[in-house]
A and B are shown apart, each in its own frame.
Chain A
Amino acid sequence: MIIEYHRPNTIEETISLLSREDPCTVVLGGGLYLNEKVEASIAVVDIQNLGLDTIEKKGNKHFLGAAVKLQQLINQDKLPQALIKSVKHQETYNRRQVATLAGTAITADGRSPIPAVLLALDAELEMIGNNNKTELIHLGDFFPLREDKLESKLVTKIIIPSNTKTAYHYAARSPADRPIIAVAVSQWPSGRTRVVLAGYGDQPVMVLDGPDKGGAETAARDAYSQAGDQWASAEYRADTAVVLVRRSLNQIAENN
């Protein structure tokens, strides 16, 4: 239950609020997650006044403000099309107007398309803590310990590379349904290849980060060899993951 609402105008004020021990205080991006699910008594800090909704490209990187709305991404033709495809897959038009990129990434579950693509892109979170220092953390390092990593900190940006080829493929009961199995693959000009699986569990899983695509299919099959739940068997997911990895790599190769 939300017991306090704050809308600070500065990062410092925000960090100060987030640093309080009591009440438990968390960032409110668009509010979709907090308004849906949180039952504990919390204070929220609405970051809509912090100017964190910019999109910039510098060098080989895109800097996406934490409060960028998902809909803002849709018309950014410089962004990886796989990311935009995942945005359209994850949320309908209404929810895209409110959902923030950082909020979506932070609250991801295993069936969320966007975090899967961000993980394949080896996205970094830029965070500011109560010492006012900026730190970067890779999304892959963030997921396993996300509650600890967020303590008294504000995510300000998500940084993704601009020089990768990326693909996103999935299988679902209908085109707009949540994926039962999804694959995101990114490949850098050097050949570095990252493969991420989604559709199961509480977060997407990175199964390969190698100098090339070698072993991607085997890694995908192994990673989901136990990924059975009420929605699909592990055998199906593992088998289909291989198919989708192959398609993703083929798509990237064709685009090259």
Chain B
Amino acid sequence: MMLDLELNINKETYQVSVHPRERLYNVLRSLGFSSVKFGDEHGKSGADTVLMDGKPVNSYLLLAAQAEGHEIETIELMGEHPHLGWKETRGLHILQQEFVNTGAIQCGYCTPAQLLTAKELLSREPDPTEEQVRDAISGVLCRCTGYKKPVEAVLRAASRLRGIEVPPIEDPIKAPPEWINIPPDDSIPQEKTVQSVDGTTLTAEKVITTLKVSTKPEDWQQVGKPKVKVDAVKLVQGKPAFAADFEHRDMLYAKVLLSPHAHARIKSIQTEKALEIPGVAAVLTHKDLPRIPYSTAGQSDPIPGPLDCFSLDNKVRFVGDRVAFVAAESEEIAERALNEIEVEYELLDAILDSRDSMKPGAPVIHDEEDYVNFADSDPEKNLAAEIRIDIGDLEQGFKDADHIFEAEYEVPKVQPAHIEPHAVVTYWDEDDRLVIRTSTQVPFHIRRMIAPVIDLPIKRIRVIKPRIGGGFGGKQEMLVEDVAAHLTIATGRPVQFVYTREEEFIASRSRHPMRIRMKTGVKKDGTMTANEMYALSDTGANGAHALTVTGNTGHKAMALYVGSGPYRESPNIRFYADIVYTNTPPSGAYRGYGVPQGYWPLERHMEKIAHNLSLDPIEFRMKNALQAGEIHPFSIAWSEGRDPVPEIIQTNGLAECVSRGKEMVGWEQKMSDKKWQNVPGKPYLKRGLGAALVMQGTAIPYLDMGGASLKLNDDGSFNLLVGATDLGTGSDTVLAQMAAEILGVSLDDMIVYSSDTDFTPFDKGAYASSTTYISGAAVVDAANKVADKLRDRAVLILKSRSGKPDFIRDEIELSNCCAIAPNGQAVSLEEIALHSLHHANQEQIMAVGSFVSPVSPPPFAAQFAEVTVDLETGQVVVDRLVMAVDAGVIVNPVTASGQIEGGMTQALGYAVSEEMVYDELGRAREKDFRDYHIFEAHEMPVLETLFIETFEPSHPFGVKAVAEIPMDGVAPAVGNAVFNACGVNIDQNPVTPEKVWQELTGKKSANMPE
């Protein structure tokens, strides 16, 4: 029975005929209201928000029939671009303007929903409190921002709507001048001779900056400024920018049958009944596809890991593994078809605990003959990768120690939980080339990796990366692209495939859980003499990122503390790891890439040692911390499976981060005032303060390459084409800022496009905290080349005007959209463009730049947490998070602080609420946002960010990475704050109420060092 409905949407009447079960969401999408997004099946994400009679509701949980007789409003009604040709427009709504101005938009996927809820709030409460704003947007999950800037945007808009002026957006933290721009230390050598771990003599690469910048930092007009994001106006209108927003005639919809068993062989699979369902276009099983081993890890060639995946296999290795693909005229038909596929399984013993993986007689998860080894992977032992790194003489270091501290720690599996699920559309274009429009962080890797899997040459594949609704590493994988591609090949038709939220939890990739053992030698005075970490890392059913994620656990975390005195010169460090298969969903890349797993045990361990020796915990850390001018200890031993090259730490603002961070959080005052720990009237509550010091990396040296091209247009504007992928991080904006700085134009004159493997230069993609540094330097390279051509042309024009000029090319300054000679003569870039394209000696002024770095300069940070612990229930409430970070020069303080706030918020979940747990059959406990709790706007602690700027000499603008480091220190800072509050040590995050209660009540044996 169909229902004929009359729906009032955005003040227009729509006649639709729908099935009674049709959701309002589907009707709105089919009518072209692309601002309404899918986030989850339960209305927890709120991405599907619309206003119904002015109230925010979840359109995915509302029948279309329920909406009849009500007024539905979407963001499309709110405002529009202020300039659309000759026609006068309404312009953007003040709320939209403030979301743009404040940097409230990162990926932009949840932005329409936040705006609608804010609009409703201001319609009933023109002067809201912050608490009211947070409550109003509480139903819209944002994984990017930490909610701070959206709240600020709503409050500013409220003021403006009441006629009150608001101040311009400035740097989020007004640091005194003496805090910032720490100049490079000229005393730091750029060349050192060291011995590698195998005894050979190595010379650290001299850091040579071959790229130049046009002006001095104090004169910069674009870099270092809180510029509005180049994509903000698009996103604030809810434009159809994302992968699933793409429409195509004859589109089919894909679904995947997932395994209900943790480990089984498919004895038989019958698809006839499914194929008989009207509207089913294809059903594919392992019998239909070529058997090509591959890795899902989006990494450079060669993939540093085993090839142990198949698009479809005759064996399933986890609950959620692929069994069959279906393409049908609708998702609903495809789901019905899944139910009709008959599968007979032979159940196999499963490994669900990583400690069982390498036991003698354990089931072999990868027993296929066509498994392709990488390095030390050994599928017969369920070993995906093995790491053995020895630096110095560990045993001698332990002998030198007065105390040896040992303890074990554990970190959980957690989900990136980007609000936009994985989504892809594939189709044959008019040249019979396969187009893959996909929500990916790594378009160029996808093109290279998928080619053999679908038996097409790379040149016949085009990958388009549209706007991405968050990735955080989760989209550094090839998870959905091959599914849609196979089905397009099978049917000849366009295919769309979008993960459900449940599929995100059970079938995508997550952070590696690890069991970690620490052993540390320390002298009485706090000098570390040796430090050892062993990690048993659970890669799940596949080994993508197995080696590299876990390698980073040691490479970034264990490098921070080298020791003091002679040990600083020759540190004694060991990092061993076994990365093993289990029958759980595969682990993979997630923001931080192994490093948060390292800092939980390291910083909890350091805290315990300091307490045990009655040392100040921060002074103890700083005594042993890596300093500028020293060799990164792991750089002589390991480089993601490639040959290591020694690196000297050129810039290290850690000491400044510590001192300024302590001031900001009131460390000395609170630590010396025990009364601060008490909560008046609630004797069962205790406050605590904790810290963690961290370092990350910036890209992978000698490997990560970024490319950019710049083209001058007739009006003096530029097309900036980058292969880099902006996931919401603001990278398109900061790259444009760098180009604009060099070319002397405003950001409005930079038209940024990313990315399309047919048109944009190669870039390895968005991971390893590399885009601003690597892709940014590529942009600078291209911009410098274009700048030289602009200057050449300016000389030509000025010469034609006044005869022989008395200046040379390099004396011409590019500024204010002009080329300006020393004598004050100027020619506009528009004149240069017209001259070069139309008037004389015509040429297209454009250039391509690329960059690969010989170093990976680490950012450093001090992270602080204030908590309140309930001594009776064990509940921990995090009240405040502070991060002082040296990420080099900050190109855009608004987008960078947004990265910090969002990262701290994700890390907050890692600290207290997020984990993925499996039952005895390998079934996931967490399959939705109800059980997997990520923080909502109305329960957030105070977030504060402070940038300690250093100038990293290996980059033309002095930048280092900012995206991943906020993930590293929150959890251990919270753990340390809990210890400060109530004296209990939690060694396994997240810090849940029961774990604290167990320690408080003595119902669990303590794991204290020594």
Contact = CB atoms under 8 A, between A and B. Distances in A.
Contacts of B938: 92, 176
B61 A35 contact: yes
A93 B870 contact: no
B474 interface: no
Contact of B994 (A48, A95, A180): A180
Contacts of A48: 66
A175 B913 CA distance: 10
Contacts of A1: 21
Interface string B19-63: 011010000000000000000011110100100100111101111
A32 B139 contact: no
The size class of the interface chain A forms with chain B is 35 or more
Nearest to B43: A95
B20 A171 contact: no
Given A5-B3, A171-B873, A230-B925, A180 B42 contact: no
A58 interface: no
B175 to A, nearest CB: 31
B140 interface: yes
B21 A3 contact: yes
Contacts of B65: 5, 7, 46
Nearest to B874: A171
Interface string A14-32: 0000000000000010011
Given A172-B875, A177-B933, A94 B140 contact: yes
B43 to A, nearest CB: 6
Interface stretch (B130-138, B455-463, B555-563): B130-138
A172 B996 CA distance: 12
B917 A240 contact: no
Contacts of B919: 230
B875 A94 contact: no
B56 A4 contact: no
Query: Chain A contact residues: over half helix, strand or loop, or mixed?
Result: mixed
A31 B62 contact: yes
A66 B140 CA distance: 26
Interface stretch (A115-123, A141-149, A202-210, A231-239): A231-239
B939 A173 contact: no
A177 B44 CA distance: 12
Interface string B703-723: 000000000000000000000
A93 B873 contact: no
A98 interface: yes
B993 A173 contact: yes
A240 B1000 CA distance: 12
B133 to A, nearest CB: 11
B877 interface: yes
Interface in B59-98: 60-63, 65-66, 68
A175 B877 contact: yes
B117 interface: yes
Contact of A92 (B41, B52, B870, B936): B936
Interface in B252-267: none
B997 to A, nearest CB: 6
B164 interface: no
B61 A176 contact: no
A97 B57 contact: yes
B61 A5 contact: no
A60 interface: no
A9 to B, nearest CB: 12
Given A36-B41, A36-B42, A94 B873 contact: no
Among A2, A36, A173, max chain B CB count under 10 A is at: A173
B735 interface: no
A174 interface: yes
A171 B61 contact: no
B154 interface: no
B859 to A, nearest CB: 28
A61 interface: no
B873 A243 contact: yes
B930 interface: yes
Contacts of A244: 873
A92 B47 CA distance: 13
Contacts of B61: 31-32, 35-36, 95, 98
Interface string A161-189: 00000000001111111101100000000
B748 interface: no
A172 B993 contact: yes
A236 B57 CA distance: 37
A96 B997 CA distance: 33
Nearest to B65: A5
Contacts of B998: 236
Interface string B858-880: 00000000000010111101000
Interface string A130-172: 0000000000000000000000000000000000000000011
B816 interface: no
B736 to A, nearest CB: 35
Contacts of B874: 171, 236, 240
Contacts of B62: 31, 35, 98
Contacts of B140: 94
B870 A94 contact: no
Contacts of B138: 92-94, 176
Contacts of A88: 135
Contacts of A71: 55
A25 B597 CA distance: 51
B601 interface: no
Interface in A57-95: 71, 88, 92-95
A240 B873 contact: yes
Contacts of A177: 913, 933
A31 B46 contact: no
Contact of A178 (B46, B136, B930, B993): B930
Among B46, B60, B994, max chain A CB count under 10 A is at: B994
A116 B1 CA distance: 39
Contacts of A36: 41-43, 61
A94 B873 CA distance: 30
A2 B21 contact: yes
Given A32-B43, A173-B933, A93 B66 contact: no
B1003 interface: yes
A239 B1002 CA distance: 13
Nearest to B332: A1
B979 interface: no
Contacts of A233: 994
Contact of A31 (B56, B63, B68): B63
A98 B51 CA distance: 11
Among B1, B66, B919, max chain A CB count under 10 A is at: B66
B304 interface: no
Nearest to B998: A236
A175 B140 CA distance: 16
Interface in B903-960: 912-913, 917, 919, 925, 930-931, 933, 935-936, 938-939
B933 A94 contact: no
A214 to B, nearest CB: 22
B43 A94 contact: yes
Nearest to A46: B66
Contacts of B1003: 235
Contacts of A181: 873
A76 B52 CA distance: 22
Contacts of A93: 56, 117, 135-139
7 contacts: A2-B63, A3-B1, A46-B63, A97-B52, A174-B913, A236-B874, A236-B998
Interface of A: 1-5, 7, 28, 31-32, 35-36, 44, 46, 48, 71, 88, 92-98, 171-178, 180-181, 230, 232-233, 235-236, 239-240, 243-244
A-B residue pairs, 4 tightest by C-beta: A94-B139, A92-B139, A173-B913, A5-B20
Given A88-B135, A98-B57, A174-B939, 20 more contacts: A1-B21, A5-B65, A35-B62, A36-B61, A44-B20, A44-B63, A92-B44, A92-B46, A93-B135, A94-B139, A95-B61, A97-B56, A97-B57, A172-B993, A174-B912, A175-B939, A176-B138, A178-B933, A235-B1003, A236-B998
